[in-house]
Amino acid sequence: MTARPHVVLSAAQSLDGYLDDASSTRLLLSNEDDFAEVDRLRAESDAILVGAGTVRADNPRLLVRSAELRRERLAAGRPEQPIKVTVTTSGKLDPASRFFTAGDTTKLVYAPPMVADELRDLATLVDAGTPPELGRILDDLGARGVRRLLVEGGGAVHTQFLAAGLADELRLAIAPITVGDPRAPRFLGTGAVPRPLRLSEVRQLGDVAVLHYRVAAEPSALDVLRLRQAIALADECPPSSTFRVGAVIAAPDGTVLATGHSGEGDPRNHAEEAALAKLSPDDPRLATATMYSSLEPCSARASHPRSCTQLILATAIPRVVMAWREPSLFVEAEGVEQLTAAGRQVIEVPALAADVRRANTHLPGVRP
Ligand SMILES: NC(=O)c1ccc[n+]([C@@H]2O[C@H](COP(=O)([O-])OP(=O)(O)OC[C@H]3O[C@@H](n4cnc5c(N)ncnc54)[C@H](OP(=O)(O)O)[C@@H]3O)[C@@H](O)[C@H]2O)c1
Ligand SMILES: [Zn+2]
């Protein structure tokens, strides 16, 4: 099975949480700088998805506006425009919508069989169940080579992606406007978000506040087992003044490929480094392996030219699971940021952080 795309949600809302007012004209909740950033998000994506409600209400073009960004896409060997995607149960989409008429790019409509047959000449109709299931839509997009999907609303679609735990990031622009009308569409409807959201960035673009969230990935039961094993390995560390850390590198089925602990081999060695030293950096098994570390991999160190984050990035290891984010005792820790920026998945299990702190109470300021 091919991988599902990385899903980025983008929305603009009023201060009181509405996506639009209740009138038939679209409420402007954005400014030029914000539009330009969303245009860049579009240009970085392989496909853009909106719900049928948004196609009907806003009649959006869903194209990259900037000529420069389109040139950059072409220069990188990508199609000039991302694929356009919509989803409907009713099939009620106007063939004259800009979704179908604007731009020479692939248009995908996920709809139950038969309901949208009059659109057959304008778009590729795909059956993903009745009603269409988001998981099947993501599987199909992945099989079509879509690695990054931008979801631009509306509220029903955003709510479903978040409630199903299928969104990876959320970019939310908040305008200093109140709508105050319960008939207007809300950014999120009913349904709780099962996965924790982490605020990763806050910026100001004129009067618009831009919040960026990452949706935390869930560890599996096997992840928790291997992470506990890594935490227990810290007991093997020689008495030392620095962090006592354990690391386990394991295959997707849980097979342990290597283990390590701080001070193993050389008193200055870190746990991840000691574990990695037991494997060749181009061992093919690393391409699907997970690095379990009781502590966030270091991003700068005085005693060694390469940080554990750099050592991990020198391999193909796609995931890192850790219990405790490094407190900034010695240097400012940026392991999680550097790994995520390089496209590696980082899963934090804060529920196990107390066990790691307990092994490190010899350090100043660390309490169990
Ligand atoms: N401010 C912003 O960032 C922003 C962005 C986008 C939209 N908007 C606003 O949001 C409003 C539209 O939001 P909305 O919540 O009404 O509509 P929406 O989320 O765009 O679309 C909802 C429709 O999509 C289809 N749909 C959604 N999930 C589906 C599924 N799993 N399977 C099959 N079909 C599915 C259904 O279409 P059928 O009814 O055809 O079955 C449903 O009625 C508009 O007022 C628009 O201006 C604002
Ligand atoms: Zn390290």
pLDDT in tens, 113-122: 999 999 999 9
Q: Note the pLDDT of residue 239.
A: 81
Q: How far apart are CA 157 and CA 49, in angstroms?
A: 9
pLDDT tens for 274-320 read 999 999 999 999 999 999 999 999 998 776 789 999 999 999 999 99
Q: Note the pLDDT of residue 331.
A: 63
Q: Which CATH architecture has domain 6-215?
A: 3-Layer(aba) Sandwich (3.40)
Q: Which ligand 1 atom is at minimum distance from the Cα of 133?
A: 31
Q: Which of 221-235, 250-264, 350-364 has the lowest mean pLDDT?
A: 350-364
Q: Is 1's pLDDT higher than 60?
A: no
Q: Which CATH architecture has domain 221-358?
A: 3-Layer(aba) Sandwich (3.40)
Quote the ligand 2 centre to 297 CA distance (angstroms): 5
Q: Which ligand 1 atom is at minimum distance from the Cα of 58?
A: 47
Of 356, 151, 150, 330, residue with least CA distance to 261: 356
Residue 206: what residue type? G
Record the tokens describing residue 246, joined without a space: 């354990």
Quote the ligand 2 centre to 298 CA distance (angstroms): 4
pLDDT tens for 177-224 read 999 999 999 999 987 787 788 888 899 999 999 999 988 788 999 999
| Ligand 1 cavity residues, CB under 6 Å | 11-12, 19-20, 26, 29, 50-54, 57-58, 87-90, 92, 131-132, 134, 152-157, 160, 185
Domain ranges of the chain: 6-215, 221-358
Quote the ligand 1 centre to 195 CA distance (angstroms): 22
Q: Which ligand 1 atom is at minimum distance from the Cα of 155?
A: 15
pLDDT tens for 43-59 read 999 999 999 999 999 99
Average pLDDT along the chain: 93
The secondary structure of the chain, three-state, reads: CCCCCEEEEEEEEECCCECCCCCCCCCCCCCHHHHHHHHHHHHHCCEEEEEHHHHHHHCCCCCCCCHHHHHHHHHCCCCCCCEEEEECCCCCCCCCCHHHHCCCCCEEEECCCCCCHHHCCCCEEECCCCCCCHHHHHHHHHHCCCCEEEECCCHHHHHHHHHCCCCCEEEEEEECCCCCCCCCCECCCCCCCCCCEEEEEEEEECCEEEEEEEECCCCCHHHHHHHHHHHHHHHHCCCCCCCCCEEEEECCCCCEEEEEECCCCCCCCCHHHHHHCCCCCCCHHHHHCEEEEEECCCCCCCCCCCCHHHHHHCCCCCEEEEEECCCCCCCCCCHHHHHHHCCCEEEECHHHHHHHHHCCCCCCCCCC
Calculate the alpha carbon distances from 366 to 268, 298, 355, 360 in Å.
21, 17, 12, 7
Calculate the alpha carbon distances from 278 to 62, 298, 309 in Å.
49, 19, 17
Of 87, 151, 188, best ligand 1 pocket probe by most atoms within 8 Å of the beta carbon: 87
pLDDT tens for 92-131 read 999 999 999 999 999 999 999 999 999 999 999 999 999 9
Q: Which ligand 1 atom is at minimum distance from the Cα of 13?
A: 1
pLDDT band, residue 155 (cuts 50/70/90): very high
Contact between 138 and 149 under an 8 Å Cβ cutoff? The reply is: yes
Q: Note the pLDDT of residue 52.
A: 98
Contact between 286 and 317 under an 8 Å Cβ cutoff? The reply is: yes
